[in-house]
Amino acid sequence: MDTSGQEKFISRIRSALGRTSHERHSLNDLFTHKFSHEDGAILDRIKNRSETERRQLLHKFIEMAAPINLNVITLKDYASVTSAIADLVRNKEPEWGDQKNIAAWKHPLIERLNLSHALAAQNVPVCVTEFEDTAAGDDSEQKQRTRLRQKVIDSYIGITSADFCIADTATLVMRTRPGQARSVSLVPSIHVAVITLDQIIADLKELYALLKWDSEIKKEGLTNCMTFISGPSKTADVEATMVHGAHGPREVYVYVITGK
């Protein structure tokens, strides 16, 4: 295989960096494992962020969300979010079929919304994506997995929380855990994420510092999947025409609980 073009390209990069083709870097040169002064400053900034600074990040998040069709709604408490989601379910129709089904994470924040009770009046079932104890029943884990997968496919709205929200790029950061399947945010036509004000961080530097050095986050470590979501699914592959929902949700709503 002819790699001359590749070599020329890499050579130009080396030249621009002032390096020779004989220089090679070790892994320690590329990836540092030492806690730096910058890391400490970032963690302190996050920990000591004032209410005013948090709201400035919220405004930045809203500003960056607008161009990518990400709907950000600020609400003061859990009851307001529950009411808003009930209104969304009432006003939005499924893309296919007539039955409205909801899939939701097994998550403390989502549990506080009490969605099953709130949506009972509309006769809309809420499927929580958690596995039951297989020792207490006849279903195998594989049967449960298949059943939950089908319920997510049948749902037109998926409701999750998130670990963080990056204000600079209006990006939700979501780690996969038991009961918190990534399919809930990817398969239904509408994705709803519920977060609190203190989950909004400034940028990727803050995210990386938290993931690498925060003592509480390090206890869990990285899960088997971490998803970054910036607005609804979109593509312009066909005739350069922008289409939403081709490879995932066509609408994304983020409800931010501000406490005031």
Contacts of 182 (CB under 8 A, 6+ apart): 174, 176, 225, 227
Domain, as residue range, for 221: 37-232+242-257
Domains: count for the chain: 1
Q: Is residue 83 part of a domain?
A: yes
Q: Is residue 172 part of a domain?
A: yes
pLDDT at 137: 56
For the chain, the straight-line distance linking the first and the last C-alpha, in angstroms and rounded, comes to 63
pLDDT at 6: 83
pLDDT at 24: 64
Q: Is residue 8 part of a domain?
A: no
Cβ contact 197:256 at 8 Å: yes
pLDDT at 52: 96
Q: Is residue 163 part of a domain?
A: yes
pLDDT at 235: 77
Q: Is residue 14 part of a domain?
A: no
Q: Where are the beta strands (DSSP E) in the chain?
A: 70-75, 102-104, 126-128, 157-160, 164-166, 171-175, 190-196, 200-201, 226-229, 234-235, 243-244, 251-257
Over the chain (260 residues), what is each successive 10-residue block's mean pLDDT?
A: 78 83 60 79 96 97 96 97 98 92 96 96 94 63 87 96 97 92 94 97 95 88 87 78 77 94
Q: Is residue 215 part of a domain?
A: yes
Domain CATH for 198: 3.40.50.10420
What is the pTM assigned to this prediction? 0.83
Amino acid at 254: V
Three-state DSSP at 140 gives: coil
Q: Is residue 32 part of a domain?
A: no
The dihedral sign for the CA sequence 214, 164, 220, 211: negative
Q: Is residue 113 part of a domain?
A: yes
The span from the CA of 62 to the CA of 67, in Å, is 10
| Alpha-carbon torsion, ordered 113, 117, 121, 124, to 10 deg | 80
pLDDT at 257: 98
